[in-house]
Amino acid sequence: MKLIVGLGNPGSKYARHRHNIGFMALDRIAGDHGFGPWKSKHQGSITEGRFGSDRAILLKPETFMNNSGQSVQAAMRFYKLEPSEVIVLHDEIDLTPGKVKHKMGGGHAGHNGLRSVHAHIGPDYARVRLGVGHPGHKDRVPSYVLHDFSKADEDWLDDVLRGVSDGAPWLATGDAAKFMNAVGMRVSPQRSGTGRQNPKAKEAELPAKDAVSIAPEPEAMPEQKSAMQKLMERFR
């Protein structure tokens, strides 16, 4: 079983903030995969469900970002989980908008939510870093992340949330590569090509009889034309 945590701040006024992309991702997962209703437990909102035979708990801490670790620790104790069974989804200013990365362990890079999780359960948990871009100067970071996504962000944001939801079953099994592949299929889908087909490939698909019927007729040889002209001149 995995505990999948989305970081954010509770309350409607924060709902569309960049800092709340973790909450948004969990809401999409719960809706797409038929999880049960959200319930208030462990200082957060929790819903339970399954991806096939794999059980998972989704948790949105309601302690506000700076104290997220309290809720994560309480849920872990209740379900008797180890840090390696926890996955935290969070906003990442050091990644461009729409970029997603999976990481196991490591530092918190100054993220207040991760800092709190580190303090309560240590660093040995998985993270899904959801890129929201950087405002350009560190002094502008707080107001940037505590601000709604713009209309220009809607397309890539929807792709990311759908991709994370598509890959959620792989998070539950611990297969990071397949999770990232599912995200990539939404964020950077493979294209079928330029629309121009290789002529040789097209010809190779034709039956032999069709190939013969479309073959160009041979041109008449200059010598034959010249002989015919001479014969016609003799009977004029």
List residues with catalytic annotation: 19
Phi (first) and psi of residue 126, to 5 degrees: -90, 150
- Of 1, 86, 89, 87, which is closest to residue 52 (Cα–Cα)? 1
Q: What is each CA distance from 205 to 200, 211, 215, in whole angstroms?
A: 9, 10, 15
| Count of beta carbons in the 10 Å neighbourhood of residue 61 | 31
Full strand arrangement of the beta sheet holding 39-41: 39-41, 44-51, 54-61, 2-6, 86-92, 126-131, 100-104
Question: Of the candidates 40, 168, 61, which has an alpha carbon nearest to the alpha carbon of residue 120?
Answer: 61
| Strand pairing class (54-61; 44-51) | antiparallel
Return phi, psi of residue 5, to 5°.
-110, 135
Does an H or E element contain 86, and which? strand 86-92
Is residue 165 within 8 A of residue 6, CB to CB? The reply is no
